[in-house]
Amino acid sequence: MSKRDPCLFFGDILEAIERIEEYTANYEFEDFVRDRKTVDAVLRNLEVIGEAARYVPEEIKEQHADVPWKRIIGLRNVVIHHYFGVDLNIVWTIVRLQLPDLKKSVEKIVEELC
């Protein structure tokens, strides 16, 4: 386990989410898939989110079991190990439907702990 302050990992998660929001702000799915740089940037930041989530202490994960920690970490593994097999439809769904909820959850955790 990392000796890094858990609040720093939450900061990493929030920063990566905000970058993804910025990169995709005015995009529809069709725009997203045509823009390889944005796809690459989004995938990289999803990796960061998953990597930071990996290092959140188990105690905090248990206290915030509503956050799908295993799915977040699993996505990071898929992005890193199966880059060419990543389904951009799924990525877009995550960006538009799941990241906003994750952001709210992490902001709440930061308010409580940091």
Q: Supply the residues annotated as catalytic.
A: 76, 81
Question: Distance between CA 97 and CA 105 in Å, rounded?
Answer: 14
Compute the residue count for the chain. 114
Question: Distance between CA 19 and CA 90 in Å, rounded?
Answer: 18
Question: Distance between CA 42 and CA 92 in Å, rounded?
Answer: 9
Residues 17, 99: contact at Cβ < 8 Å? yes
In the block, which residue shows the tokens 């439809």?
Answer: 89
Quick one: which H or E segment has residue 80? helix 69-81
